[in-house]
Structures are given as C-alpha cells and as structure tokens.
Amino acid sequence: MTFSICVHEPFEDDDGVEQHRFGVAVTTRLAGVGTLCPFVSENGAVATQSLVNVELGRKGIEYVDDGLAVEDALQSLLNADDGAENRQLHGVDRDGSFVYSGEECKPWFGHHDGSDAVEDGHFTVAGNLLVGEEVIDAVAETYESSDREEPLSERLVEALEAGHEAGGDKREELTVQSAALLVEDTEERPFDPPYHDLRVDATETPIADLRKTYELAVQGHEDAMERYEDAYEEDDMDDVEG
C-alpha cells in the first residue's frame, strides 16, 4: 500500500487555549485506499499498509482513545498478529510516535520517524513498493518545511504531491489509483470543515484529483459559511432559503 504520513500538531485556538490536531494522508496504485489505511481521532493518527490488516488501524486508534500510548497500542497489536512480518504500521499521539516495517514487505520499503525534526508535535512516514527511499524523504522534507499557519489538510496534499513527484509507487502497470486524507482536532466548532475528510477512490491521477477535491471543498465551505454561518452558529436552519 504505497506511502502515507501521520501527523500530530499542537496549536492554540483563537482564545489562546492549547488544542491538538491529527492527520493521515495516503496514496497507492490500487482503488479505495481510504477505506483501508487511515485512522484518525482527537487523540491520535494511525496508518496500516503493505499486506493490510485493517484491524491494526481500527483497534490501534481505539486503544489510543482509551488512553494507551501509541507505541504500546501498536506494538501489542503486532505482537498478536501472525502476519506481522508483512505489515507496515505507523502512527502518532500527543506524546509520541511509532513506526514499523515487517521484513517481508515488498521493496523498496522503509519508514521515517521525523518527530525529532519538528519543534513540537510528531510525524511519521512509511511506504512500500516504492521506486526508492527518495519518496519517503520527499514526503518528510515537504511536511517539515510546511507553514503551520496553512490548513493541515492542504499540507498533507502537498506532502503526497512531493512523494508522487519523486517517483511514488513503482507499479506503473497498475493505472487505477487512489488517495485519501483524514484530519481531526480537539477544537469545538459549530460546523466542521468538509475538507478534513477527503477520498479519491479510483482514478489514474490520484494526487491531482485529491488536490482538486480539496480546493473545491474549501470553496464550498467558504460559500456555505458566507451564506449560512449565523444559522449554523445558532443551530437553526429553519429560516434558511434553499
């Protein structure tokens, strides 16, 4: 399952209160990666790939939500997984990170824990069946240099773009591809932005399509807020014209 990035970032809301956001972005040369790989909550972000075991992601994020450290949660799941040598699994929570690539993953495969490279927060990158290590490096470097004043969803798309431009998944004979991103944070809002949960399930141009989907979602959100923001804040749409 190609390459993905998991991110944790602390930030301050408009009232100066510390909040946390988490995100995963992934792309592969198969359809529907958004149904298999990314798992996110207000407490962590996990990506499961290579020979996918969806339960590693689903249970991993559940364990983190229950208060288990991400490294303990994911390692315990791998310890109980008979196919662990075929898995890639990585993730972050508020306090740490975890990366794992089994010995039977298909080359090129590898991972990168960039948590020490950012001033605050954590991030991890992993990939398999890639043209080379340069894909992982491009994803990591692009995220590291990104401007945190910009939305995390946009910066995740940029990180995938960098990995794709560096060569990405080496299976050029597989033309049907997909991409996805998920973002959650602890900030309370009357209306969550729709560009935090985006998928392109089957296309020959996954990154370009994810970029276009993101831009349209942002525009749609801005248009809706311009027209309906007061009604959303008051939780009353009765007086809104269709």
Q: Look up residue 90 and give its two tokens.
A: 């990585």
Residue whose structure tokens are 């399930």: 201
Token pair belonging to 128 = 């398999």
pLDDT in tens, 162-194: 999 999 999 999 999 999 999 999 998 877 788
pLDDT at 160 over 50: yes
Per DSSP, what are the bridge partners of residue 27?
3, 179
Q: Which residues fall within 8 angstroms of residue 64, CB to CB, at 6 or more apart? A: 41, 43, 44, 46, 70, 73, 91, 93
Contacts of 112 (CB under 8 A, 6+ apart): 99, 124, 125, 126, 136, 137, 140
How large is the average pLDDT for residues 26-49?
97
Q: Which CATH superfamily is domain 3-233 in?
A: Aminohydrolase, N-terminal nucleophile (Ntn) domain (3.60.20.10)
Tell me the average pLDDT across 235-239.
50
Angstrom distance (rounded) from CA 24 to CA 179: 11
User: Model pTM?
Assistant: 0.93
Over 50: is that where the pLDDT of 60 sits? yes
Higher pLDDT, 188 or 141: 141
| Domain segments of the chain as ranges | 3-233
Per-residue model confidence as pLDDT tens digits over 73-97: 999 999 999 999 999 999 999 999 9
Q: What percent of the chain has pLDDT over 70?
A: 94
